[in-house]
Amino acid sequence: MSGTRVGRVERTTKETSVLVEVDLDGTGRVEVGTGVGFFDHMLAQLGKHGLFDLTVKTEGDLHIDSHHTIEDTSLALGAAFRQALGDKSGIRRFGNAWCPLDETLAQVTVDLSGRPYLVHSEPEGMAPMIGPDYDTTMTRHILESFVAQAAVCLHVHVPYGRNAHHIVEAQFKALARALREACEPDPRASGVPSTKGVL
C-alpha cells in the first residue's frame, strides 16, 4: 500500500455545514463536535476503537431537531472513508467484531465491497430517546447513510440488550473494530482483494 490513507469531505446544504476528516492509519485521536452530545460520543467510539484519527465539525439546524445534523454528518463520514480507502489495494477487505457492553452484545461484519448494502437488527422495545436529542431510530439511519456513501456491505446484529445507551454504543464499538480489521493492510496480499480486480 502506498500513499496516505486520508479522506476529507466538506458538505454544505441549507440545513447543515459538515467537515469530516479521517486518517485510516491513525492512533484514535478524535475531535468531534456536532451539537448532538450522544452522537458525538458515538463518533468518539468509532475513532478510538478503530484507531482512526477523526475530525468532525458540523453546524446544523438543531432548532428543528437533530435529524439533518446526524444524517448529513453520516453521509460525509461515509464519503470520507471511501475517499481514504482509495483503490483498496492490499487491504484485508473483510472485518468482523463482537462487542459486549454489560447486558448487551453486538456483532458487526463488513465487506469493503464497493456495493452498498445494510442488514440491521436491534432488540424491540428500545427507549425512544437517549438524552435530550438522540432519537434511537436514527441509529439505523446513520448506518444507512454511511453505507450509501462508503459503498460497503454491512451487517449489524444486536441479539439482546435492555439499556438503549448500551445497545447503540455496542454497535459503534463493534463497527469500529470491524472497520479497523477490514481497512488494515494484509501483509500477505498485494493488489486489490477481488477476483474482479476492482472494488
Residue 40: what are its φ and ψ, rounded to 5°? -60, -40
Q: Given this model, what pLDDT does residue 190 score?
A: 87
Residue 86: count other Cβ atoms within 10 Å of its Cβ.
17
61-120: pLDDT as tens digits: 999 999 999 999 999 999 999 999 999 999 999 999 999 999 999 999 999 999 999 999
Share of the chain above pLDDT 90, in %: 95
pTM for the full predicted model: 0.97
Q: Residue 3 — very low, low, confident or very high, per pLDDT cuts 50/70/90? A: low
Give the start-to-end residue ranges of the domains of the chain: 6-183
pLDDT over threshold 70, residue 2: no
Helix (H), strand (E) at residue 97: strand 94-101
Q: How far is CA 156 from the centre of its chain?
A: 11
pLDDT over threshold 80, residue 1: no
> What average pLDDT does this structure show over 11-29?
98
The answer for residues whose C-beta is within 8 angstroms of residue 106's C-beta and 6 or more apart is 98, 99, 100, 156, 157, 158, 161, 167, 170, 171, 173, 174
pLDDT over threshold 70, residue 127: yes
167-189: pLDDT as tens digits: 999 999 999 999 999 999 999 98
Rounded to a whole number of angstroms, the CA Rg of the chain reads 16
Supply angle C-alpha 96, 160, 149, rounded to 5. Answer: 45
Cα dihedral 63, 45, 95, 183, rounded to 10, equals 90
Domain 6-183 has CATH 3.30.230.40: yes
d(CA 9, CA 12): 10
Q: Are strands 153-160 and 117-121 parallel, antiparallel or unpaired?
A: parallel
